[in-house]
Amino acid sequence: MTGTPTEWPRLEPIRTGIRGRCPRCGEGHLFDGFLRLRDECDACGLDYGFADPADGPAFFVICFGCVPAVVFAVMLEIWASPPLWVQLVTTLPFMLITCLLPLRPLKGWLVCSQYFFKAGEGTISRPWQPYGADGPTVMPAQRKFG
């Protein structure tokens, strides 16, 4: 890019993520392979170090892709009892399509959503102590006046 804008447009995570584009500029690529994230955007230089989708894409694929594919395979076996080769020819491609194809768009959507909503590691505002660690606590309604 020739000039760096002072303010970037707010891009929808669903549009940029599914296409595998940078969440800030929408031009650069997000992925360096099938699922490996780049270190930074090749167009605007945004560091992708903030991105941590963890197991989110796999969870969504398991729930919405793998479960229906397995149900299809089981129901095919119950209703038709086809030979093994028919089961492999029908269910294996269905499983691969429903399990592998959605991974990349889902991962891109989750990374772009993290940028869009400024997601970060959770923090606790005060040090945590278990209840009763510093003796009995008197609630304001239990105080005795006088």
Q: What is the pTM of this model?
A: 0.75
pLDDT tens, position by position, 72-114? 999 999 999 999 999 999 999 999 999 999 999 999 999 999 9
Q: How many CB atoms lie within 10 A of CB 111?
A: 27
Residue 114 CB contacts under 8 Å (≥ 6 apart), including other chains: 23, 50, 51, 52, 53
Which residue is listed with tokens 């594919």? Answer: 69
Q: How many CB atoms lie within 10 A of CB 114?
A: 20
| Boundaries of every domain in the chain | 13-116
